[in-house]
Amino acid sequence: LGSTVTQLSNLTISNATVANAVVDSVNVAGFMGIPQNSQNGNYNVVLADSGKHLYHPAGQAAATYTIPANSNVAFTTGTAITFVNGSANNVSIAITTDTMTLANSANTATRVLTANGVATCVKVTSTSWIISGSGLS
């Protein structure tokens, strides 16, 4: 330990657990699935939501999930956040001062996710995101 390994051959690892492993200075090893953060009402997305899905459960009123400005929460470029609406009521997906563009368009307005809709938003530059999904308008 403490030295750099440049070549490995015939290495076998079993039952290893790695938490918060840094692949390099930019990429962090992620999740095997898409962990859930269930939110019942309006919600401001936080850094810990990176790589997760925000779930709006059945029976909940309409809500707005807001992605904050890069100047307030600096998500890494390449961050993906998925939104899932399990409610019969719409979820609005908004952004503050940065830009969120609907995929395959130039539209940058707040998006609406209908019942049983799923959408993923990916940060593509320091202040811009692109969003796509089913049940998304």
35 versus 3: which is more confidently predicted?
35
Q: Which tens digits make up the pLDDT trace of 95-127? A: 999 999 999 999 999 999 999 999 999 999 999
pTM of the model as a whole: 0.79
pLDDT at residue 10 tops 80: no
Task: Give the mean model confidence (pLDDT) for residues 45-62.
Answer: 97
What pLDDT shows up at residue 37?
97
Report residue 33's pLDDT band, with 50, 70 and 90 as the boundaries: confident
- Greatest alpha-carbon pair distance for the chain in Å reads 56
Output helix, strand, coil percentages for the chain, rounded to the nearest 5.
0, 40, 60
20 band by pLDDT with thresholds 50, 70 and 90:
low
Compute the distance between CA of residue 50 and CA of residue 78 in angstroms, rounded to an integer: 10
Q: Does pLDDT of 90 surpass 60?
A: yes
Residue 137 banded pLDDT, cuts 50, 70, 90: very high
Residue 18 has pLDDT above 60, yes or no: no
* Helices and strands, counts by H and E, the chain: 0, 9
Q: Note the pLDDT of residue 19.
A: 56
For residue 49, what pLDDT is reported?
A: 97
Q: What is the pLDDT of residue 1?
A: 46
Instruction: Give the span between the Cα atoms of 79 and 131, in whole angstroms.
Output: 12
